[in-house]
Structure 1
Amino acid sequence: MDLIAVTGATGAVGGRVARALASAGARQRLVVRDPSRAPDLPRAGVRTATYDDPGALEHAFHGAGTLFFVSAAEDAHRLDQHRTVVEAAAAAGVERVVYTSFLGAAPDCTFTFGRDHAATEELLTAAGFRTTFLRDSFYADILPEFVVDGALRGPGGQGRLAAVARADVAEVAVTALLDEAHDGRSYDLTGPRALTLAEVAATISRVQGREVGYVEETLEEAYAAREGFGAPRWMVDGWVSTYTAIAAGELDVVSDAVETVTGHPARSLEDVLGEG
């Protein structure tokens, strides 16, 4: 079995992928920023690299035929970081890449952070890799983190989203990493049902036993509330466009890709909150 390089192995998705690959007996190399946090797994080596260090990345990827490329955290220079990963993987001789993209990624998508994903898909395609793009909806696991003072607040209108479980994304990723039949495919990864933000709030209330509501904000109110955190404008734009993308209907997508690839239905928001 080819060596698989796994980035983000200390994170929520990458860590699940690394553990599942280990259970499957795969040889892997965990590419991490902090080796002290890397999981101790059989048949897994560890190399240290950041997305800003092309030399370290090329060394980390050397000998791997397949790369699990977890997108970088939001950053003003994220696309530059991704370009560094792509160039290092090409220089190291990587042939296949499974990349965590975003649902509806496009150069002009409303969710501003999604535009980096569209550009990264283009970089990977232009570099000649055999690719699998995992176009994830927002993660169901983090929706409770959007609750502030008992409410989800944002300019989301009556738009809907079918948030996906991180565990489902990881399972699809592992399947794609181990089976070349998924090369050349793009998967929209969603939950089983699209919900309004009011329905998301009601679900959190019911499952977690706390009162959570949805408060519709105007654009002006949304920017004013978030600018108070002192974040740069590009970051605030991303936060606000999380909601405006929902309002625009760009996240109102329900796909059967999780079930098609893994053989089980996608986890619902209730499932994810119950597991937590």
Structure 2
Amino acid sequence: MIAVTGAAGQVGGRVAAALPEARRLTRKDAEYRDTPRLRQALDGVDTLLLVSGRESADRLAEHRSAVDAAVGAGVRRVVYLSFAGAAPQCTFTFGRDHWHTEQYIRGTGLAWTFLRDNLYQEMLPMLAGPDGVIRGPAGDGRVAAVSYDDVAACAVAALTGDGHDGRTYDLTGPEALTLHEVAARLGIRYEPETVEEAYASRAHYGAPAFEVAGWVSSYEAIAAGELAAVSGDVERLTGRPAKPFAPR
């Protein structure tokens, strides 16, 4: 039995559609923070796709709760949707949560596979403001963004195939683009900001400090070259090349 969390989301939904016999779990079924309820929802499950939780101040605690529920339910194996370059001090602040979650999973004794996806191609148009301009402190750095479809296909392969235990896969598109190039394909433009300008230009949203730091540091990670590496892991897992960024 395979269970898919985030089954109402962009990646989890695609995976659930490809695996109609899998158990679909959404926040309505059990929040990650509700260990007992999630443990009950995972009863009888052998392999779990753990889609990372939504960004929050206590996301790491929620991830640990979900992993604890999997262990308590007798799940044997977890495929975790992580992030490119996850490390304890990576520039992208949310990427640090992913690294700590990976370490927690490693310490449970569960079999594991980590899918470290780059930024999503479908999210790139959403970087533009109301005036149709992308602004951020990415400089001339590059991002090897990957499509939802490719990440979902890799997850299906990891969930259903053999030989993936203990493996970490970097999921990227086939090319690394600057935000100038991304903007050109969208028919708009990119204006680099300083880090200070980026924080100031986002202050009017009134978002929590951790969230604004995540937004800004995603651009900083691009500038630092931490999202530029292009991997062949999508093709290795799916047997077909990764999709290029080609906005409609």
Q: TM-score, normalised by structure 1?
A: 0.88
Q: 2:232 aligns with which of 250, 256, 262?
A: 256
Higher relative contact order (CA 8 A, sep 6+): 2
Letter in 1 for 2:213: D
The corresponding residue for 1:143 is: 124
**One-letter amino acid matched to 1:6:** V
Letter in 2 for 1:196: T
CA distance in 2, matches of 1:33, 1:96: 21
Listed as ranges, the gaps of 5+ residues in structure 1 are 35-47, 206-211
- Deviation for aligned residue 1:51: 0.8
Q: For residue 199 of structure 1, what is the amino acid of its counterpart?
A: E
Equivalent residues, number: 247
User: Which residue number in structure 1 is paired with residue 207 of structure 2?
Assistant: 231
Q: Distance in 2 between matches of 1:52 and 1:198?
A: 40
Deviation by residue 1:161-199 (Cα, 9 ceiling, x = unmatched) = 110001000000001100131111110000000000000
- In 2, Cα distance between equivalents of 1:95 and 1:252: 34
Cα deviation, residue 132, structure 1: 0.8
In structure 2, give the amino acid aligned to 1:28.
A
Name the SS for the 1:235 alignment partner: helix
The reply to whether residue 160 of structure 1 matches residue 142 of structure 2 is yes
| Alignment partners' CA distance in 2, 1:169 and 1:122 | 22
Task: Name the residue aligned to 2:27.
Answer: 33
1:228 deviates by 1.3
SS in 1 for 2:88: coil
Work out which of the residue numbers 146, 161, 176 in structure 2 matches 1:194: 176
Cα offset for 1:97?
0.5
- What does residue 65 of structure 1 align with? 46
In structure 2, the residue matched to 1:129 is 110
Alignment RMSD (CA, Å)? 0.8
Which residue of structure 2 aligns with residue 208 of structure 1? none
3-state SS of 2:19 partner: helix
Q: In the aligned structure 2, how far is the partner of 1:251 from the partner of 1:139?
A: 11
In the other structure, the counterpart of 1:109 is: 90
Q: Distance in 2 between matches of 1:50 and 1:232?
A: 21
Aligned to 1:244: 220
Distance apart, 1:264 and its partner CA: 0.7
Mean Cα displacement is larger for which, 226-235 or 114-123?
Answer: 226-235
Q: How much has 1:31 moved relative to structure 2?
A: 1.3
Distance in 2 (alpha carbons) for counterparts of 1:115 and 1:230: 23
Partner of 2:67: 86
The equivalent residue for 1:19 is 17
Q: Which runs of 4+ in 1 moved over 3 A?
A: none
Distance 1:129 1:190 in 2: 26
Q: TM-score, normalised by structure 2?
A: 0.98
Counterpart code for 1:33: R
Which amino acid in structure 2 is aligned with residue 4 of structure 1?
I
Q: Which amino acid aligns with 1:79?
A: L
